[in-house]
């Protein structure tokens, strides 16, 4: 093991580029609710580089200065179109870094992070670097402390993409020059810190025990505000969630989603009531347009309950289809990202002159555990699709492929399917009797009330079967309500033999 290499201003003078990975640790991806298939990147100004013991300014008028403890790679020799197998040999050294950013201005550069991440002192590194040739990149550990309390602790075994893959991938588009810096992403635990707080980051070689030493950065309150001729700080709930790491840490209530409210009890209730009853219950709450209108159902009255994922098609235009329709397009990406219990809801504008999916994509959805598929467009290979286990609700059959009428355009957005607005996370209850969309915040109370209504209807139906007239029974008057209550209090015995 060679001696640690000091990280200094001279190190920074050689850094022509500072490149950073968006998501690379599985724990961070879990926080974000998405796992990328390939790495993606942004750039930071080399002027943001700073040494250990430096201060970082939280600009006046902002509140979301966040730290991200990371492992930084310093390129040792020029790399252009290198393979994954040889990529690690182009890394000269490894050090600790802190990918700082102010989330209040993140919105202004549409994901590029130019201003939010490139402030002076926003990329401290050091205090020393370890020679890459002495290291196994799969055996490194990164730790972060805030005011002496450890808040991040992960090793590179949880990386989604190896360091070699990242170096090789970046080298396909640009020459990585000696001195260039690659920030390799942060694990879970990144959050906001405040003026006066001290953040420390350290990288350790798990095999030898050698470390970079602790990189120390202190936050200070800035005195200058953003000038009026540029974007001003702005904070949304999503900014807070991203900056703090999650809604709970940010002091915000947990989001009500379909998955969070679909408990076993609620599922059982929804399974036990008719879709017509659910529709009527929602109408009582002022929601009159909650029924997706499509006539076809491959599994008839089989009840489907799940949470919505969404996909939108736009009318075909040949140049757009050429640019967006081929290969691993949004349609395939959407289906490939389905999870257990989700229902893919597709907006196809009611256009049945072309298919929106066929048997292969329906089979893939089934393999991923999706609960169902709903399309207000056509379905191809209908016989084969009908033979699959996954229920599919559709607007008609058509043999033509997607590009005749559609271009797959957006996923996981609010869509209009069968005349109804559907948002990702909405709860869907469907069978051939109807498809009902329930806002997550209403699900529990709607399910409970629908159960009561269903019980009422069961009682009334049985009484009509026994020959009683409709008057006073449907709806029930006071006398019939008394009898109904007595039946419920008795434990809901068999209505065919129960004595009134």
Separation of alpha carbons 338 and 345, rounded Å: 11
In SS3 terms, 8-60 reads as CHHHHHCCCCEEEECCCEHHHHHHHCCCCCCCCEEEECHHHEECCCEEEEECC
Residue 429: φ, ψ to 5°: -125, 125
Whether the predicted pLDDT of 445 surpasses 90: yes
Closest by Cα among 252, 403, 257 to 326: 403
> For residues 439 and 256, which has the higher predicted lDDT (pLDDT)?
439
Residue 79 and residue 90 in contact, taking contact as beta carbons nearer than 8 Å: yes
Q: Tell me, what DSSP letter sits at residue 174?
A: S
- For the segment 84-99, the average pLDDT, to the nearest whole number, is 98
How much of the chain, in percent, has pLDDT values that exceed 90? 82
List the helix and strand counts (H, then E) for the chain: 15, 28
Residue 348 and residue 331 in contact, taking contact as beta carbons nearer than 8 Å: no
pLDDT at position 325, please? 86
Separation of alpha carbons 378 and 394, rounded Å: 6
> pLDDT tens for residues 185-198?
999 999 999 999 99
> pLDDT tens for residues 111-158?
789 999 999 999 999 999 999 999 999 999 999 999 999 999 999 999
Whether the predicted pLDDT of 31 surpasses 90: no
CATH top-level class of 5-244:
alpha beta
**Residues linked to residue 177 through DSSP beta bridges, in sequence order:** none
Mean of the per-residue pLDDT values of the chain: 94
CATH top-level class of 288-438:
alpha beta
Domain ranges of the chain: 5-244, 288-438
Closest by Cα among 46, 314, 33 to 177: 46
The token duo for 304 is 């489907």
What is the value of pTM for the model shown?
A: 0.66
- Which pairs count as long-range contacts for 195-199, CB under 8 Å and 24+ apart, including other chains? 195/58, 195/219, 195/220, 195/221, 196/220, 197/146, 197/147, 198/146, 198/147, 198/148, 199/67, 199/69, 199/98, 199/144, 199/145, 199/146
pLDDT category, 65, cuts 50, 70, 90? very high
pLDDT category, 489, cuts 50, 70, 90? confident
pLDDT at position 394, please? 97
pLDDT category, 64, cuts 50, 70, 90? very high
Residue 112 and residue 24 in contact, taking contact as beta carbons nearer than 8 Å: no
């Amino acid at each position: 093991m060679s001696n640690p290499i000091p990280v200094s201003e001279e190190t920074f003078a050689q850094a022509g580029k500072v490149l950073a990975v968006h998501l690379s640790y599985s724990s961070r991806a879990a926080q974000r609710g998405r796992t990328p298939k390939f790495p993606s990147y942004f750039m930071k100004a080399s002027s943001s580089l700073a040494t250990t013991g430096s201060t970082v300014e939280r600009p006046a008028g902002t509140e979301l200065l966040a730290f991200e403890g990371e492992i930084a790679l310093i390129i040792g020799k020029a790399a252009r179109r290198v393979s994954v197998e040889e990529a690690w040999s182009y890394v000269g050294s490894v050090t600790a870094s802190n990918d700082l950013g102010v989330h209040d201005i993140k919105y202004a550069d549409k994901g590029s992070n130019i201003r939010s991440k490139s402030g002076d002192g926003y990329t401290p590194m050091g205090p020393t670097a370890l020679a890459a040739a002495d290291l196994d990149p799969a055996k490194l550990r990164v730790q972060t402390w805030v005011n002496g309390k450890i808040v991040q602790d992960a090793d590179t075994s949880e990386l989604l993409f190896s360091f070699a893959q990242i170096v090789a991938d970046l080298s396909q588009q640009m020459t990585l020059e000696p001195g260039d810096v690659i920030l390799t992403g942060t694990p879970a635990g990144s959050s906001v810190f405040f003026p006066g707080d001290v953040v420390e980051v350290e990288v350790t070689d798990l095999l030898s025990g050698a470390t970079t030493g602790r990189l120390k950065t202190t936050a200070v309150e800035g005195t200058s505000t953003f000038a009026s001729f540029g974007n001003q700080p702005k904070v949304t709930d999503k900014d807070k969630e991203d900056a703090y790491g999650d809604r709970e840490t940010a002091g915000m209530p947990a989001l009500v989603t379909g998955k969070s409210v679909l408990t076993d009890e609620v599922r059982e209730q929804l399974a036990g009531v008719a879709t017509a009853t659910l529709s009527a219950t929602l109408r009582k709450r002022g929601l009159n347009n909650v029924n997706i209108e499509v006539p076809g159902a491959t599994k008839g009255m089989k009840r489907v309950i799940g949470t919505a994922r969404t996909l939108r098609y736009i009318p075909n235009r040949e140049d757009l289809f050429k640019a967006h329709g081929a290969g691993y397009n949004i349609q395939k990406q959407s289906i490939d990202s389905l999870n257990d219990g989700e229902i893919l809801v597709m907006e196809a504008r009611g256009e049945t002159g072309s298919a929106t999916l066929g048997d292969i994509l329906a089979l893939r959805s089934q393999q991923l555990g999706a609960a169902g598929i709903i399309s207000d467009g056509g379905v191809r290979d209908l016989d084969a699709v009908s033979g699959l286990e996954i229920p599919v609700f559709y607007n008609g059959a058509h043999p033509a492929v997607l590009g005749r009428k559609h271009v797959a355009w957006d996923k996981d957005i609010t869509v209009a399917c069968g005349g109804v607005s559907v948002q990702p996370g909405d709860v869907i209850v469907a069978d051939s009797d109807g498809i009902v969309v329930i806002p997550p915040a209403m699900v529990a109370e709607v399910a409970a009330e629908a159960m009561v209504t269903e019980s009422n209807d069961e009682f009334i139906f049985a009484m009509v079967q026994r020959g009683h007239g409709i008057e006073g029974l449907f709806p029930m008057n006071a006398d019939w309500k008394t009898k109904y209550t007595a039946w419920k209090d008795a434990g809901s015995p068999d209505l065919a033999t129960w004595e009134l």
